[in-house]
Amino acid sequence: MTTQPRGLLATDPDLLEQLRLDSRDWPSVTLDTDQLSELELLLGGALAPRGGYDRDHPLVIGHTVGAATTSQEPDASAAVEVGARVGLRDLEGALLAMLDVAVTRPIAGELVRVEGAVTGLEPPIHHDLTPLRRPAAEVAGSLDGTGAVLGLIVDRPLHPADVAVLADRMARADAALLLVEAAVGELDRWALARSLRPAVTALGSPRVHAVMLPESDWLATNLASPDWSTQLLANHGVTDVIGLDDLSPATHDKVLAGLHQIVERTDANSPPVVAVGGASGYPAAIAELRVAHRPAHQRGLVVFFTGLSGSGKSTVAQIVTARLREADPRRVTLLDGDVVRTNLSAGLGFSAADRDRNIRRIGWVAAEVAAHGGSVVACPIAPYDAARRASRAAATDAGAGFILVHVSTPLAVCEGRDRKGLYAKARAGLITGFTGIDDPYEPPTDAEVVVDTTGLTPDQAASIVLRHLESEGWTLPA
């Protein structure tokens, strides 16, 4: 095991104040979720990829970023050059750290990979699960001198059989236990924390400790490496690593199989029947797993229409919305492209960048509604594949379903309809950047439903979409 890291946070108050004043002149980078996760673990001392951290040998990390911005002008472009000092900010603009740029490597378009030594100014602030949000250096310090420390990275509820194994291991080694909770499985961090409380209570020892790692895809990928996860545990003060496979995976699989039987029932109110190996003694864990495995018709849903102007997507989307409101208990929100432009995206133009922003905003709002169990029907033109895929990712990351409906009505038919007269204006050169005329439409290759309204009534087209939702379990039969 390596020397415990002391973290990367600057502690001198005078230095911190001076750096914050200086930061007004630095270019800034807003970190995404994965980058924030990496930075949080780095600042807290959980990462030591070079075999141990020492203040005289700072770690170098890399971030893929777009055009950097200054903190005073959030939308102004600023170069990130070797030798520059860059501010690393969270999604709300809070300055968390500075990075002294040592290497820049162009990747594609405006993207550049920036590498440099990091100094933390302020750790990320969390208002949820605060007792579990302890940095690794602090945890290691509190466990130092206590003897052996067993460590387990856990991403699922613990079965009573698991608890028995852990209690026995603690007793035989006269050791403390650290549960490092990582929401990289089927449960989000809140559900994971709730489901593990009964196990901690059952262990009933003041020598049992728990921490929660930040949630991200980056973390999930790295935890798959035994060497990486072992080093992370060591940096938390763990001396002996326990794997989930050392516990009772077979029993856990039986519990999950029973849960699948529960949630596949059409009667959503049927009581749990799982009693495998005493699992019924953990009702909180069963409840969380049951929610995680709830059937499609009980989850949030985004039905995302895309197609050319005049393809019929808005009319079909309105009919689908009406039918869902009539039959589905979930609240249904309609995000019409034109209405969104007037409200959510007021001020955006029709450049490629603004169109991309518009669709990503729609995708974000749709995912937020669906995350809380609602249904959303969105019907923008959405001409670009990347923005549509981002909307899909936002919904699935929120635990919701995403159904892409391509209204594939040919351009000639759409132009012949031309209810708003926009095609005529585009052909006459009165408007520019019009999708299908002088701006591209990228037909999706990942649509779950494809509908050409050329020979269909709007009701017939809507029925095709609704039948798909029913066949895939997103709605119950009428």
Q: Looking at the domain assignment, is residue 300 inside a domain? A: yes
Check residue 466 and give its pLDDT: 96
> Could you tell me the two tokens for 148?
């052996």
Lowest model confidence (mean pLDDT) among 19-23, 153-157, 180-184, 456-460 = 19-23
Mean pLDDT to the nearest integer, 377-392 = 92
Q: Which tens digits make up the pLDDT trace of 156-210?
A: 888 777 888 899 999 999 999 999 999 988 788 888 898 888 888 889 889 999 9
For residue 316, the SS3 value is helix
As a whole number, the mean pLDDT across the chain is 80
405 and 313 in one domain? Answer: yes
Separation CA 141–CA 37 (nearest Å)? 22
Is the domain of 181 the same as that of 313?
Answer: no
Cβ density class 340-373: b for 16+ within 10 Å, e for less: beeeebeebeeeeeebbebbbbbbbbbbbbbbeb
- What's 197's domain CATH number? 3.40.50.620
Tell me if residue 200 falls in helix, strand or coil.
helix
260-319 pLDDT per residue, tens: 554 444 344 444 444 444 444 566 666 776 676 677 888 899 999 999 999 999 999 999
Residue 413 and residue 455 in one domain: yes
- Same-domain check for residues 102 and 164: no
- Residue-range definition of the domain harbouring residue 437: 296-471
Contact 184, 152 (CB under 8 A): no
Quick: pLDDT tens for 318-336: 999 999 998 888 889 999 8
Write out pLDDT tens, residues 335-372: 987 777 777 766 676 777 888 888 888 999 999 999 88
Q: What is the pLDDT of residue 113?
A: 65
Same domain, 454 and 314: yes
Q: Which two tokens stand for residue 294?
A: 């709830």
Q: What is the pLDDT of residue 112?
A: 60
pTM above 0.75, yes or no: no
Task: Indicate the number of domains in the chain.
Answer: 3
56 and 187 inside one domain? no
* H-type alpha helices, 23-124: 33-44
Q: Name the DSSP class of 268.
A: T
Query: Is residue 320 located within the same domain as residue 431?
Result: yes
HSE (side-chain half, CA atoms, 13 Å) at 285: 23
For residue 97, what is the domain's CATH number?
A: 3.10.400.10
